[in-house]
Amino acid sequence: MTHYFISDLHLQTSHPKMTEGFLQLLTRLQGAESLYILGDFFEVWIGDDYDDPMVSSIKSGLKQLSESGTSVYLMHGNRDFLLGNTFAEQAGATLMDEGTVITIGNQQALLMHGDSLCTLDTAYMQMRAMFRNPEWQAQILAQPIPARLALAANIRSESQSGQQMKSDDIMDVTPDEVVKVMDEAGVNLLIHGHTHRPAVHKDNGRTRMVLGDWSDEHGWLIRWDAGSEPVLEQFAL
């Protein structure tokens, strides 16, 4: 059976072609064993109580895939950390924790969004800790939708400004942290996204596969057939 992995779609109403491409991908995945979405599925997520035609179409597409027999898994990213159980249930998906180990065939893999690996970016790591704090999240979700939309726009603007001041090395994963998490998990394969630097890195018996971000022209996925090695692929939308 075939398993698929995607991340960093950053779906948003201003880029309908990406949403259309994602929905077309779902039809092609009919019959797959599983689909893993490893964070930043949406450009922003302000709570499961928000809905619009784009969100409804995505939930419907995922639900159809799930009902056809494909297991769908969702992991939080740094943009959609407020995704909750209500959305997951409506989409026929299961929420996964960061750092989940799965087994396909006789091989194990550690799945992560990847932002927690960027430990040299201390300012971001502090912000990430706040975003992942349940009390902070509850305070945000208690606000009316217009206030949450405004907050999300402000956070996004500050994030873009901050990135312009940072070096590429700071915004990439820290090699020592990669070794640490893989050794702690007892695996030699790590799959993640976040950095938007698609590649397959091999070092000292360890393999790190990095998913790319989507655009209006193309998407990225990892296809893994049981009994074979996983393959990183770019495809046209």
What are the structural domains, with CATH classification, of the chain?
2-236 (3.60.21.10)
**Average pLDDT score, the chain:** 94
Residue 42 has pLDDT above 90, yes or no: yes
pLDDT digits (tens, 9 = 90+) for 62-72: 999 999 999 99
- What confidence score (pLDDT) does residue 39 get? 97
Residues 124-165: tens digit of each pLDDT:
999 999 999 999 999 999 999 999 999 988 888 777 665 655
Over the range 219-233, which residues count as b (16 or more CB within 10 Å of their CB) and which as e? bbbbbbeeeeebebe
pLDDT single digits (tens) 168-208: 667 799 999 999 999 999 999 999 999 999 999 999 999 99
Q: What angle do CA 120, 82, 128 make, to 5 degrees?
A: 15
Q: With residue 196 as reference, give the H or E element that holds it.
A: none
What per-residue confidence (pLDDT) applies to 170? Answer: 73
- Ranges of beta strands (E only) in 56-176 are 71-75, 93-96, 100-104, 107-111
pLDDT higher than threshold 80 for residue 235 = yes
The answer to whether 19 and 11 are in contact (CB under 8 A) is yes
How far apart are the C-alpha atoms of 9 and 23, rounded to whole Å? Answer: 12
Rounded-to-integer distance, Cα 161 and Cα 216, Å: 23
What is residue 163's predicted lDDT score, i.e. its pLDDT?
Answer: 61
